[in-house]
Amino acid sequence: MLLLRDILSDVKKDLPALVIDDEPQVRNFVADVLQTSGWKVSTAGSAEEAYVLLDEKQWLLVFCDVMLGEADGYEILRNFSKLQNEARFVMMTGHGSAVGALEATAIGAFDYLVKPFSVDDIINISKIVREQHQLRQQSGKEQNQKAELGYTSDIPLIGRSPKFVECLKMVGRVAATSLPVLITGESGTGKEVVARAIHRRSDRANGPFVAVNCGAIPVELIESELFGHVRGSFTGAERERIGLWEEANGGTILLDEITETSPLFQVKLLRALQQSEIRRVGSNRTIAVDVRVIAATNRNIEEEVKENRFRQDLMYRLNAVTIQLPPLRDRVEDIPLLAEHFASQVHSLTDKRPSFSPAALEALQKYNWQGNVRELENAVLHAVSMADDIIYPENLPLRIQSFIETEAEQSKSFSSFLNEPGSSASGFQPTTLSEMEEKYVLQVLQYTGGNKQAAARILNIDRKTLARIIKRNESEIE
């Protein structure tokens, strides 16, 4: 738990905060905590009072209730955002939802609190806002561009599931800083999309965004690709060349699949991060480069460190902030939204946009998306090309149809087992959960052709748990 004395020693007392809520108890509670934390606080009990205060001064932190009698807190947020781009807006509500959090974040809210919230919640937010303000003052830059998150054509961060909404909130928070960011998640979860969203919301938005797939560059060439080289530095270096790191000067560089790099190159990368300078291959001259670094990986980077495949000091340098993107199977409620978005992209190119039948959407939500959002996009493109006015399950790729058919057969077999003669209360022959577990695991392994990783995903368990089940039933399953 945070203690007020831990944050009062070095805070200024003149940073302006505004609390807007028609409930005096909530309004006074938030105001008291902020005042004790070193903020100069004003309050408003209605939208009308808030609009008067809007023109009074430049606010740095604003807490606003979603419902202010007949007024809409989101409309206040929109008005404040147009006139005061320095303000960090926190929406408060007694009826929280992922949809509400997504909407608030999409139109510029810094955070979204569900009542009742704690003193720690208020202090944590105010501390982050204060630190971001100090960083902006130190760099002499202001955040002039605010790229919207959510349903946009160039940054399609689409979703309303709780896990994904938390990612959106982290994007909003970290974008205003210059801290290095590590984005983790399975292949196809949208790591580059999130990196671009961070760049677009940062004060580097007018600068370049350079994405580098470290896994696609040969080990012997990656230093030259990133840092450049001088003429004659190696066989084939017929002219001087600047690297991708310099191309990103003043902007952001994404180092995708960072764990694919060699330990030797990681040493040079660490120096570039620490010194903010590089040295082209074959040159003795250092070059100062101002780059914000975002790294991404689909591996467990801590496991890579334990196996001595990745430098621990570099990991600490890269993961000042970590954003863990959830796999698609953990955000099933987002699949219809994503599917409609991908279908609309096809429509913009071909004027063909069939709608999804309920059965097709149900099939998409049941399927095990090992390729995550990228695989879903490819499936939708296939379905649109195969359908006329409506997309049915038979328009989906064969792998999805086969998966759904197999699942239906397994469900039918299980229902038959429960309803077969002798299964009534009078003649039912019970079996243990362990025996049923053994049979089902065996069926899944047969379905995956013995692929234990795929089986673990279908069973929604980790590989170690599956291994223990197999070991208990080795005679039947092996």
Q: What is the pLDDT of residue 74?
A: 85
Strands (E), 56-213: 61-65, 67-68, 71-72, 88-93, 111-114, 181-184, 209-213
Six-digit token string for 369: 């998306």
For the chain, what are the domain ranges?
A: 14-139, 162-324, 328-401
Higher local confidence (pLDDT), 328 or 344:
328
| Average pLDDT score over residue span 116-126 | 88
For residue 59, which of 39, 86, 28, 35 has the smallest C-alpha distance?
86
| Average pLDDT score over residue span 327-344 | 90
What is the percent of the chain with per-residue pLDDT over 90, rounded to a whole number?
Answer: 41
Q: Give the model confidence (pLDDT) of 266-285 as tens digits.
A: 999 999 999 999 999 999 99
| Average pLDDT score over residue span 146-162 | 53
> What superfamily does domain 162-324 belong to in CATH?
P-loop containing nucleotide triphosphate hydrolases (3.40.50.300)
**Average pLDDT in the chain:** 82
Using pLDDT thresholds of 50, 70 and 90, give the confidence band for residue 10: very low
pTM: 0.59
What distance in Å separates the CA atoms of residue 191 and residue 188, rounded to the nearest whole number?
8
Q: Give the model confidence (pLDDT) of 398-439 as tens digits.
A: 999 988 888 777 666 555 555 655 544 444 556 677 777 777
Q: What is the pLDDT of residue 150?
A: 32
Does domain 14-139 fall under CATH 3.40.50.2300? My reply is: yes
Q: Give the model confidence (pLDDT) of 269-325 as tens digits.
A: 999 999 999 999 999 999 999 999 999 999 999 999 999 999 999 999 999 999 999
Protein fold of 328-401? Helicase, Ruva Protein; domain 3 (1.10.8)
| Average pLDDT score over residue span 76-93 | 82
Domains 14-139 and 328-401 share a fold: no
Six-digit token string for 77: 């947020």
Beta-carbon contacts of residue 33 (< 8 Å; ≥ 6 apart):
119, 122, 123
